[in-house]
Structure 1
Amino acid sequence: MTDIKTTIKELPESEIEILCEVPTEVFEKERPIALKKVGEEVTLPGFRKGHVPEATLIQKFGEALILEEMANLAIDRAYPEILKKHKVHAIAMPAVAVTKLAMGNPFEFKLTFQVMPEITLPDYKTIAKEVMKGEEPTEANDEEVAQAEKELLKQFATKDADDKEVIPELTLELAQKFGPFTTVDEFKAKIHESLSHEKTNRAREKKRMQTMEKVADGMTVKLPKVLIDGEIDRMLAQFRHDVSQMGMKFEDYLATTKKTEDDLRKEWAPDAEKRSKVQIALGKIAETEKLEVLKEDLDREVNHILEQYKDADPARARIHLEMMLTNEKVFQFLEGQK
């Protein structure tokens, strides 16, 4: 649909409006496809599904229904072309308004997009260098190893005559219940390794978030409300899932805490704004430093997820994973500034 005419107009509050006109001859090519689609969706006595004559369809449902389906088809076909032509970086689906729809005339419609606002980042390299330079101890100490050992052995605790918990002494037999260990010391060494690895990961995540929070705090941007609302929606969906995993209905949780969903949304708004700013900053750094995910890496990760979760939406999975992999590249870049 390369013949589509478009006029772009910038609006306040990080919005753009694109007026679109599909020529008459191009628009009318959608008619047989629209008729076929409508015919496959309706059921009429005396006709097999998908075999209702055009005249019967129009008599029964009216020309307006066919035109409406033609409009939907034309918009769906034009949408990716419009995004590409105007390099629109939309942050939400556009509002669509049909402005002219009649047979024998060009089809006209209007798209209103919420786009990413202007962003000015602080000196993120200096911020990263300052945050990353301090080293935290990440090796597990004897006390931590002993506590972890105790927690593991609690599964085999018994009760004494006074009904007090008695934790058994570590033996090779008990150690081997956790893996094919040949000595008790080997088991303790594994606990030490796992705890040290966990502490290293926590320290790295802490520095990453400290860096990005400082970057977000120093960033100049006016966040569109749709971004914050979207983040709250994700937080709410995750919270609903967490509550259900605890065996409780979300509605029961609200009743117990005497809160409404709106109360939660208001409480979470500041955190959602912070999260949104961090993600925008990560995206802007990736764009500035030209940090991109290789197609083969992304394909591999998408395929892995789709193998694990058969019902996952491939397009959504791809978008999410591309963002996560890009974020990791940004974090690695910032860690390299120390």
Structure 2
Amino acid sequence: MTRASLALVVLGPFALLGLATVLTWVERRLLGLWQDRHGPNRVGPGGLFQPVADGTKILFKQDWIPPFADRSVFILAPVIGMMTVLLSFGVIPLTDTLWIAGNLNVGLLFILGMMGLGVYAVVLAGWASNSKYALLGGMRAAAQMISYEVFMGLSLLGVVMLAGSFNLRTIVSAQAGLWFIVPQGLGFCVFLLAGLAETHRLPFDLPEGENELGAGFHTEYSGMKFGMFFIAEYAGIVLISALIATLYLGGWRGPWLAPALWFALKTGVVVVFFILLRAALPRLRYDQLMALGWKVLLPLSLLNVMATATVLMLRATP
């Protein structure tokens, strides 16, 4: 491993954490713009230092563990949530030759595996808190994440079939002539909705429904442990947006600008779209959320797989 690669591995997670922190300010400003109200505008120019103030407050806030909680599991849960998100970024290609960790032949499977492990964070947080509200939030989150990961994986099969590989660099290279969002529009829509549910974003933030569960699976958390869950959620938004840019929008490919700038621009557009959905859509009921997944998204994802396979077979037929 070269010094540059080692520096990227060491500094990459800190850069991602900083990006997730800045994203909290971006979301507040955009929500204020779209909802015709003031966003943060007191701390620094345009409220730019508000994330610094929030981070400082969380850092020095009392880190209290309820006496009725399972202490070791209670501490472990946010660590799992943070690590699974950060590890997923390691195999996403920023350019044709640049990764945080390295090029992995099964990079897409690795990311899906890390997302699957992320379920343990919310389940353990809900169970270890020994609180009925946290437990209900954890069970909701587990059912939601596991269910939508099924559709997320099926929606990506069309991309894998077109590219002939699970390697993310190969998938981007296969989009040289046409972005996969065109032939895989249906799969893209399913993946987008599954990504919203995976990151607990509105209108799919039922595990954190404050009108029902207080704060869901992290009701009993405070201080930096709560901050880890909070930052992991925003890092997850960036992760899903980066995956969409890589799998459906041509990754780093584009004219005139540098490849890394194209990748950042595409990822940023998807992040802004995620924030716009929060400003525009109300929260669904939990039964509506699960019904949407099993009754609508599952058949659509299977239809997309069958249609893609049929087209590829017809092309291969002499």
- Tell me which of the two structures has the higher relative contact order, counting C-alpha pairs closer than 8 angstroms and 6 or more residues apart: 2
- Please tell me the TM-score bracket, short chain as reference: under 0.3
Larger Rg: 1
TM-score by length of 2: 0.23
Pick the structure with more helix per residue: 2
TM-score by length of 1: 0.22
Pick the structure with more strand per residue: 1
